[in-house]
Amino acid sequence: GNDRLFKILCEALSLDELVEDSRFKTNNDRVENREILIKILEKSFLERNRDEWIEMLRGKGFPT
């Protein structure tokens, strides 16, 4: 992924603070820290079902 899509994803998940987190600033940073990032994202994704996420992300311009 790229930085623009990561920002959209974080905003959709109400995890705006991740955009400024030095561990996730660039794609290389996110790959390096993927285990931590995956745990954070998984927790958020449990809050809605798949169809709700697809609808929300599409509405924000995120390719699904």
Q: Which of 58, 56, 30 is nearest to 44 (CA)?
A: 56
For residue 1, the model assigns a pLDDT of 62
* pLDDT digits 0-9 by tens, 4-38: 999 999 998 999 999 999 999 999 999 999 999 99
Q: How far apart are CA 15 and CA 22, in angstroms?
A: 14
Please write the tens of the pLDDT for every residue from 41-54. 999 999 999 999 99
| Residue-level pLDDT at 62 | 87
> Between the CA atoms of 58, 29, 38 and 19, what dihedral angle is there, to the nearest 10 degrees?
-50
Q: Are 22 and 29 in contact (CB under 8 A)?
A: yes
What pLDDT does residue 61 have? 87
Whole-model pTM? 0.83
